[in-house]
Amino acid sequence: MKETLIIAGFGGQGVLSMGKILAYSGVMQDFEVTWMPSYGPEMRGGTANVTVILSDRKISSPIAHQFDTAIILNQQSMEKFEPMIRPGGVLIYDTNGITRHPVRDDIAVYAINATAECARMG
């Protein structure tokens, strides 16, 4: 089993934190794990993404060019990473701030108004 995920959005949206939680969860389940962040120099508002790979075998490289699952929080990330989801993969995205919704029919797509839901929860 090997699952390659990307979480992408703006800095300050919790992108790297979500990746860390996912990676730590994998470690707790005895998976091999890589966590590879990428972000600009801005403290908040710049682009940020993190690749997490979970596997029951050794992971040869933390670098991925295709993903089984993508969690997308902004339009820039949608444009960059939607084409990189493997056919049969999963795309979960925050409808807030997405102006062009995905059109692929070879992946499972889940639209969630995550920003509003987080605000509602406090």
In this predicted structure, what is the pLDDT of residue 43? 65
In this predicted structure, what is the pLDDT of residue 6? 99
Write out pLDDT tens, residues 38-89: 987 766 678 899 999 999 999 999 999 999 999 999 999 999 999 999 999 9
In this predicted structure, what is the pLDDT of residue 116? 87
- Contact criterion met (CB below 8 Å) for 35 and 59: no
Question: What average pLDDT does the segment 94-109 reach?
Answer: 93
Q: List the chain domain ranges.
A: 2-121
Q: Which CATH superfamily groups domain 2-121?
A: Pyruvate-ferredoxin oxidoreductase, PFOR, domain III (3.40.920.10)
Residue 37 has a CB neighbour count (10 Å cut-off) of 14
Query: Taking 90 as the threshold, does the pLDDT of residue 122 lie above it?
Result: no
Question: What average pLDDT does the segment 91-106 reach?
Answer: 93
On whether the pTM is more than 0.85, the answer is yes
pLDDT band of 119, cuts 50, 70, 90: confident
Strand 67-72 with 47-55, pairing: unpaired
Write out pLDDT tens, residues 20-37: 999 999 999 999 999 999
What lies within 8 Å, CB to CB, of 107 at 6+ separation is: 85, 86, 87, 88, 89, 90, 91
Identify the CA nearest to 98 among candidates 118, 80, 122: 80
